[in-house]
Amino acid sequence: MQRDADALRDAGVTGVSVRLETPRGTVTARSGVGDLVSRRPVPKDGYLRLGSTTKTFVATVMLQLVGEKRLSLDQTVEQLLPGTVSGAGNDGRTITVRNLLQHTSGLHDYIYDVFPNPSAQTYYANRWHAYRPEQLVAMAMRHEPAFPAGTRWAYSNTNYVLAGMIIEKVTGRSWEQQVHDRILRPLGMRDTDTPGTRPFLPHPYTANYQQFTADGPMADTTIPYRPFDSGADGSMTGTARDLNRFFAALTSGRLLEPTELAAMRTTVPVPQDSGHPAGTGDGLGLFFTPLSCGGGYLGHGGSGFGYVIRGAATTDGRRAITVSAHSRSADPHTAARQEDALRNLIDHALCRTE
């Protein structure tokens, strides 16, 4: 695993951290530096931005509500949030909760509205601005849907902004409160948080760096871009220790009853051009990815300016891994090499026999 972490560093990532839990114990690896100024080591079990891995927590709460008969996967968005999804051909009467959680709604992804011009200047100019969920959905509603609900798959953060709104509508409490009460507290995940618009990570952490143009400088993007890093689609923070505990508990059936876990694990194919490995399927807030040794793993990734994180567990929950890479390249060839190195690391770690 250290060799694979070093390979990710050698592909240009400034800082890398890996934590693998197995029945025989924990294995960790670190490579690169904690920041480019002091060149300090990557900290042990540092705090991380979980990015879109937040979606798996939100989906878990939604499926717990389904199990409690407070929600149905076949309910429409219009039934739950009347008038919210409409205009420009969008119709909440045709989009179900399942469509939202599985990215088959066809809804436009609002992130293209809040970051229209990829540049360091846009990042620095707008990173402190935050939107309410209703504002983000309204932006998306200005665009026609990409396809009729249920007919195709396309990743859209708007889906999970709506999911967070539905949790609050159904329970009377925010999605953040529900995640704390239903997942973080029962599992003892004391180092995981839902910070909302609070921008600073607890210490220790590794600095994140984004290259906005090929051959351009690395910009320190440790401060998140709050227009899309502050809601139910991607705002949580935590540690690799906690994230492994979550995925192990989820995949082994400790958070959901068998019927709801089976629904979460029922996938639709992900298109080949979506950036995922061949054979990947998307369930409800949980991706299935094939392993080279047979079978596959369940998990979710997250990314923002300057970081990529992947959390995953074998289908029986016996092995769980979190990989965090703390810089991103604007050069497509370099980015592809880094993605290949990250996938290889996970594949080797989860395929290794006891």
More confident residue, 250 or 274: 250
182-237 confidence digits (pLDDT tens): 999 999 999 999 999 888 999 999 999 999 999 899 999 999 999 998 899 999 99
The pLDDT assigned to 98 comes to 98
Q: Which of 17, 31, 52, 329 is catalytic?
A: 52
Q: Residue 47: enclosing H or E segment and its boundaries?
A: strand 47-49
The pLDDT assigned to 353 comes to 61
- Pair type for strands 209-211 and 327-328: parallel
DSSP secondary structure of 94-150: S-BHHHHHHT-S-PPPTHHHHS-S-SHHHHHHHTT----HHHHHHHHTTS--SS-TT
Q: Determine the average pLDDT of the residues in 109-130.
A: 93
Q: Determine the average pLDDT of the residues in 240-264.
A: 98
Give CA–CA dist 27/30, Å, rounded: 11
With bands split at pLDDT 50, 70 and 90, how would you rate the model's confidence at 148? very high
Domain boundaries, the chain: 2-351
The pLDDT assigned to 352 comes to 79
With bands split at pLDDT 50, 70 and 90, how would you rate the model's confidence at 117? confident
Q: Over pLDDT 70: what percentage of the chain?
A: 99
Cα–Cα distances in angstroms (integers) from residue 175 to residues 42, 64, 171, 235, in the given order: 32, 12, 9, 12
84-109 confidence digits (pLDDT tens): 999 999 999 999 999 999 999 999 99
The pLDDT assigned to 116 comes to 86
Residue 354 above 60 pLDDT?
no
Q: Determine the average pLDDT of the residues in 225-253.
A: 96
256-312 confidence digits (pLDDT tens): 999 999 999 999 999 988 889 999 999 999 999 999 999 999 999 999 999 999 999
Contacts of 342 (CB under 8 A, 6+ apart): 8, 308, 310, 323, 325
Give CA–CA dist 169/150, Å, rounded: 24
Three-class SS of residue 313? strand
Q: Determine the average pLDDT of the residues in 133-158.
A: 98
To 10 degrees, the CA torsion angle through 311, 315, 320, 322?
-10
Mean pLDDT (the chain) is 96
Adjacent-strand bridge partners of 87: 90
Assign domain 2-351 to its CATH architecture: 3-Layer(aba) Sandwich (3.40)
Q: Determine the average pLDDT of the residues in 34-63.
A: 97
The pLDDT assigned to 159 comes to 98
The pLDDT assigned to 40 comes to 98
324 is catalytic: no
The pLDDT assigned to 197 comes to 85
Report the greatest alpha carbon distance in the chain.
55
Q: Over pLDDT 90: what percentage of the chain?
A: 95
Cα–Cα distances in angstroms (integers) from residue 254 to residues 66, 179, 185, 251, 295, in the given order: 16, 15, 14, 8, 21
Closest CA relative to residue 146, chosen from 189, 95, 194, 212: 95
